[in-house]
Amino acid sequence: WHLVRALPFTIDDKIIKWFGTNTDIDEQKQLQRQKDDFLGIASHELKTPVTSIKAYAQVLGAMLTREGEHKKAEMVLRMDAQVNRLTNLIGDLLDVTKINSGRLQFNKSWFDFNETVLETVQDLQHTTQKHQLIQNFSQTGSIYSDKDRISQVITNLITNAIKYSPHTDKIIVSTRRENNEAIVCVQDFGIGIPEDKKDLVFEQFYRVSGNKQHTFPGLGLGLYISSEIIKREGGRMWVNSVEGKGSTFCFALPVDETNS
């Protein structure tokens, strides 16, 4: 390609452009690969020390509690919570590199969809005192999928609902069966998403910008990872939202009639 590019062209302009475009795409692909490789290596290297810090923090916290040093134990607990955040960020970076290089693997089995949603909701209710996660479930049936990955997606939607509704406390998690699909929706009454940004939120590293949004931490990867997981599991994900009123994120997965 470089040879072609270096030639003093006198031929048809269209052909020159055509060659040029291919070279650019080649270079872009290579750059993207290098970026993905770097992200993969960096996040992998970060994972080991962070795991070790977490283990020490937990041992230290338990020791301090045993010794009656409650104030110090409380500080270590906060350290542990921050380490968890770091672990989740690194996990997201690793997932993105896996998705982009086609190495995201699924460990599939049959499981009851509602049960998994319920478990995830209960786990997350423990992490928030302010928000109330209201369950509105109806029968969905069993699905054949990766339970941990599906739970990861539900977790992401609920933690977003919590994060982006700082002034309201109600979050509704509902499930339903429609034709051959199990559907779950997470509705919040928070800041909402502007109409023209709704489709963009599923893109990697995309975050809605604006004065209000600057105060929310994040990398803009959760929804990209979630929608890719759902897509690869044969489902679909969408959002309904009104700016200033709230958002409803949903996804649907196929249900096998013979197993439900």
Residue whose CB is less far from ligand ADP, 65 or 88: 88
Contact 96, 204 (CB under 8 A): yes
The reply on whether position 251 binds ligand ADP by CB under 6 A is no
The reply on whether position 193 binds ligand ADP by CB under 6 A is yes
Distance of closest approach, residue 158 Cβ to ligand ADP, in angstroms? 9
Member of 54, 176, 207, 236 binding ligand ADP (CB under 6 A) = 207
Sheet arrangement for strand 132-137: 132-137, 170-178, 181-188, 246-254, 236-242
Residue 11's identity, in one-letter code, is I
Contact 140, 146 (CB under 8 A): no
- Rounded Cα distance between 22 and 164, Å, is 42
Between residue 210 and residue 229, which ones bind ligand ADP under the rule CB under 6 A? 213, 218-224
The reply on whether position 61 binds ligand ADP by CB under 6 A is no
Q: Work out the end-to-end distance of the chain between its first and last CA atoms, rounded to an integer number of angstroms.
A: 55
The answer for residues whose C-beta is within 8 angstroms of residue 81's C-beta and 6 or more apart is: none
Residue whose CB is less far from ligand ADP, 142 or 247: 247
Number of residues that bind ligand ADP (CB under 6 A): 21
Between residue 109 and residue 168, which ones bind ligand ADP under the rule CB under 6 A? 160-161, 164
The reply on whether position 173 binds ligand ADP by CB under 6 A is no
Member of 95, 188, 228, 233 binding ligand ADP (CB under 6 A) = 188
The reply on whether position 76 binds ligand ADP by CB under 6 A is no
Query: Would you give the DSSP letter of residue 212?
Result: G
Distance of closest approach, residue 221 Cβ to ligand ADP, in angstroms? 5
Q: CA 61 → CA 44, 66, 102, distances in Å?
A: 26, 9, 40
Contact 152, 126 (CB under 8 A): no
Residues near ligand ADP, by CB under 6 A = 160-161, 164, 188, 190-193, 201, 206-208, 213, 218-224, 247
